[in-house]
Amino acid sequence: MSGWERIRSSRSRLGGSDSRSPSSRTVRLGRVQPQAPGHRTIYCNDREANLPVRFKGNSISTTKYNVFTFLPKGLFEQFSPVHPITNVVPLSLVLFVSLVKEAFEDWKRLQNDKSINNALVDVLLDQKWERIPWKKLQVGDIVKVRQDGFFPADILFLAGTNPDGVCYIETANLDGETNLKIRKALEKTWDYSAPEKASEFKALESEVQCEQPNNSLYTFTGNLIIQKQTLPLSPNQILLRGCSLRNTEYIVGAVIFTGHETKVMMNAMNVPSKRSTLERKLDKLILALFGGLFLMCLIGAIASGIFINRKYYYLGLGASVENQFNPSNRFLVALLTMFTLITLYSTIIPISLYVSIEMIKFIQSTQFINKDLHMYHAETNTPALARTSNLNEELGQVEYIFSDKTGTLTRNLMEFFKCSIGGEVYGTGITEIEKGGAERSGIKLEEVHKSSSAIVEKGFNFDDARLMRGAWRNEPDPDTCKEFFRCLAICHTVLPEGDESPEKVTYQAASPDEEALVTAAKNFGFFFYRRTPTTIYVRESHVEKMGKVQDVTYEILNVLEFNSTRKRQSVVCRYPDGRLVLYCKGADSVIYERLGDVNGDLKKKTREHLEQFGSAGLRTLCLAYRDLSTDLYEHWNEKFIQAKSSLRDREKKLDEVAEIIEKDLVLIGCTAIEDKLQEGVPSCIETLSRAGIKIWVLTGDKMETAINIAYACNLINNDMKQFIINSDTDAIREVEERGDQVEIARFIRDSVCADLKKYQEEAQQYLHTISGPKLALVIDGKCLMYALDPNLRGMLLNLSLNCTSVVCCRVSPLQKAQVTSLVKKGARKITLSIGDGANDVSMIQAAHVGVGISGLEGMQAVMASDFAIAQFRFLTDLLLVHGRWSYLRICKVVTYFFYKNLTFTLTQFWFTFQTGFSGQRFYDDWFQSLYNVIFTALPVIIVGLFDQDVSESLSKKYPELYKEGIRDSFFKWRVVGIWAFFSFYQSLVFYHFITASSSSPQNSSGKMFGLWDVSTMAFTCVVVTVNLRLLMLCNSITRWHYISVAGSIVAWFIFIFIYSGVMTPNDRQENVFFVIYVLMSTFYFYLALLLVPVAALLGDFIYLGVQRWFFPYDYQIIQEMYRHEPDQSSRSELLDIRNDLTPDEARSYAISQLPREKSKHTGFAFDSPGYESFFASQQGVYAPQKAWDVARRASMRSGTRTGKKK
């Protein structure tokens, strides 16, 4: 117990029991102490002391299996709940292919892990740096990381080569953001960069208290206690594994978390496993097949128990007969026959279907989606990326799209456009949305010409001579202008890079908005050019007098950082003359709450300007400041340091402390930043709407901005009836001013409930009229919070589903996910979420299909998504082309598999009736085993890859075709029933035609055909017929279809020739020995091979003809419209793919853009071989001749001459 007492005394010495919670972790720098449960004590630079604790090593493994778990776990992974245990050969082949694929993928992961684990890093051992592999790194080690190197573990930053203990890191591997982040070591450890000095940690009475390992990338709580002084640690002192060091020669740090306990590894979770709706329906079909299997076996088993009788003396059912045929125990006979028949009929379950579908989807993803040039973005050199192949067909059934606004519908390229300073609006430009609004109203706007003083620069599109080149000094309130510009230049976290001149500097900002604001300050004459952790340097022009330029240093005392809860950022700075100022910028809603009483008219005017900017589609921020007295600041700073040192609820305490000083602010004005729409967004949304897809916009922007963006996107128009549920009403404002939170919540909830009821009634009235307007719903985040209440959720859902468009504004990331889940689970509709930022991740993961935009907000949305594209407009190709084709193809594959397996099994079932239900096989074991694996496998994969009902251009020209996928037209139970009917019919034809026609002597010796002759003949007819039926199924037939169908039939004949011609002793091969040779020596074989498939397929032929003539699908109508016209899709311009292509690749790409000879079939999937060089010369594209081009050109000429003779 003495050890625990020492811990308690240590805790009291460190500031009481609250300073070390059970969820914290202690990193000891040189002293040994007993371990308390929940605490982790780590001795820095002392491996011997750490040894007994057995911390996790730094080696990582991302593989799914190891040597011992591969077989059991791998087999478990392959068996879906509906896979049967059936015939050994097909099952073995299926499992072998799947396990080889798993092993190959895991081997690649292993190689990647090895290269990472064996990377070298400098570690302090015996007062000198030694290079060791990452995997040998231990908690507590002191490491040195050089410039451009990656951090091998989560490290506490102690010292670096830059002045003031600063280093710069790039976090692209964590969040995709390429802008540099600044990290600062504690001043107490700045001189620990030399190995001799760093070795002193072991001797000093120093320790680090920190949190236990967790997956939060952006938070860290801990304290460094050194020489009895407690210093708070924050994320600014932590260097995370996976980040890299930039612009710093080297840094020295102490290892805090290693291996799988590092934050990046704790975040390395797989995207939630998603299964497509079609796959879930397929499971039901398989269960139905199991039901059919059980019913067939039950019929056979009961009939067997009834049939078995000793009166059939020729069966030899004496007293010594085995149990399965003993008439004395009919129940046992039925039971054993049941098990025999399960094995016999198990071919009804399509074991290889899952592997075939997986293979088809994988090729669709990697070869078709990933390599589609229509979804390639040349500007950023970004192709489309299918991150999973499980959901290809789900893309063809999407009914609801949930989209973020910024960076998804818009470009996320922010430009400073307008501003309001001291109640005066500056900026003369007109936004795209203002132009669109004027067009809708029938107003013609005059073109605004830029003034001579206008500056054109990335991030700055402002034009107003009153503020440029020092002209602001002549404005009515130049002091407010000065505060405005200084707030822009000082209140931020931007890092400048490059030369300290306005023309050559580049800014590394956490967001495009930040960069645009600092760029604006520069162009207004307040050039921010250098920063350290404690100072900001600004080159100010025209402040004291026109033309005078001076460098001013501002001391940064505190930074109150921006987060999604605070929605604001503040900086406390000291002027060179000692003036203390708090500058604050943030959303208008939070700034207005914190303004003092001195802002009267200015508040009103600025609010009007905010609404004006919002209606023009601009993003707004309010700017304010507060002068601080020295006493007030010192008193507040003590609380701030105390909150920053807290281990428990640090973020909450910092927010509470910030509230104390962020009040009584003086309003300066507001900024308006333009974020232009992405190219092609309005036409894309219009096309998707015609396809029957409803689009919802979920954004954090103000309602006015969101509505105007919706107008600009063609999402809302003046012909629509708009239902607006808004918390910004006079009645709600009145209640909010009283400050009673319970009353506010009750009032808003009742208000939302009343609005939902009223609008629901209105919607019902409009829906019952023939020519009623389309409906649109707009709701803000505060009202949405109450509308998502369990009691109101149903009303919200019903109203939303009746609306063509829905816009949710001022919503949080959680609300985005809740709205998505509401439609997904409540309406049971297939949903797709698309976004580009970290705040869209929960929405992306909540939907059936998640699409990430690889934009400017990092890669977190892409990393959480199922598909990644570079532009919103590429959704047209992803859904209407690839999604629809995938859905159509997978439906055909599934129904065809169902048909061919049911047909084959039913022939065996009919045979059972003539064998006394004994379980006698109709087919040889090897026939049954290889039927699905070889003789009918390849053609269905070809259909799954290349079948096209209509071409890509027609798919986009007639987006209404997509509605067939939304209605699930090709995988309804009615469709399955029709296939089952024709399976039933064809199996009767195969069995009864063959058995009836072979009952008389047929062969040359006058003998009748035996069982194996009849079954081989029947099997030949089955193989030929089901392969020919596949060709009737195709919308487009290419040479690959012919090759695969002919190849499958030829494969059967090659197999049976070899199998019948060879016999080994003691096996069942004697059954079919020489059978095919006997059969093929008779005229009967050829007659049956011709007539039986024709009779079997006659019903299908008549049905398909009647269906196409009288009950056509939409795509069949389009096929008939264009049956005599080749696909005249416009030749797309040659894309600029930079200089990343080799000459051969460039030639291939140029040729791929040329017109090609088209197949004669409607809706073809494959072009015939093109005459590359010939067409290239016609189009003016350089493509050197290849040897085979000459032959092709010659064949083309001869074909032309032949045509003329005719």
Residues acting as catalytic residues: 404
Q: Is 450 helix (H, G, I), strand (E, B) or coil?
A: coil
Contact 484, 426 (CB under 8 A): no
Distances (CA, A) of 667 to 21, 382, 421, 596, 677: 42, 43, 9, 8, 31
Structure tokens at 204: 């000093």
End-to-end Cα spacing for the chain: 109
Q: Which of 1053, 1097, 1094 is nearest to 1077 (CA)?
A: 1053
Residues 1139, 1145, 1148, 1149: is their CA dihedral positive or negative? negative
Q: Which of 512, 709, 473, 670 is nearest to 591 (CA)?
A: 670
**Cα–Cα distance between 763 and 806 in angstroms, integer?**
14
Kindly write down the DSSP assignment for every residue of 295-321, as one continuous string: HHHHHHHHHHHHH--TT-GGG---TTS
Contact 751, 731 (CB under 8 A): yes
761, amino acid identity: E
Q: Which of 480, 522, 531, 521 is nearest to 504 (CA)?
A: 522
Burial of 1010 (0-12, 13-18, 19+ CB in 10 A): middle
Kind of pairing between the strands at 120-125 and 128-133: antiparallel
Structure tokens at 393: 């067909």
Number of H helices, E strands in the chain: 42, 34
**Cα–Cα distance between 433 and 970 in angstroms, integer?**
42
Burial of 22 (0-12, 13-18, 19+ CB in 10 A): exposed
Helix (H) or strand (E) holding 232, with range, is: strand 229-233
Cα 994–chain centre separation: 54
Structure tokens at 5: 């007492």
**Cα–Cα distance between 136 and 1158 in angstroms, integer?**
61
Contact 224, 188 (CB under 8 A): yes
Q: Where are the beta strands (DSSP E) in 266-356?
A: none
Kindly write down the DSSP assignment for every residue of 878-937, as one continuous string: IIIIIIHHHHHHHHHHHHHHHHHHHHHHHHHHHHHTTTTTS---SS-HHHHHHIIIIITT
Place of tokens 């290269």: 115
Degrees to nearest 5, angle at CA 150 with 146 and 156: 80
φ, ψ for residue 695, nearest 5 deg = -115, 125
Contact 881, 956 (CB under 8 A): yes
φ, ψ for residue 409, nearest 5 deg = -85, -30
Contact 170, 149 (CB under 8 A): no
Place of tokens 């010796």: 1005
Q: Is 492 helix (H, G, I), strand (E, B) or coil?
A: coil
24, amino acid identity: S
| One-letter-per-residue 3-state SS of 843-864 | HHHHCCEEEEECCCCCCHHHHH
* Cα diameter, the chain: 125
Distances (CA, A) of 364 to 662, 1054, 1182: 55, 31, 31
**Cα–Cα distance between 107 and 1017 in angstroms, integer?**
46
The DSSP call for residue 425 is E
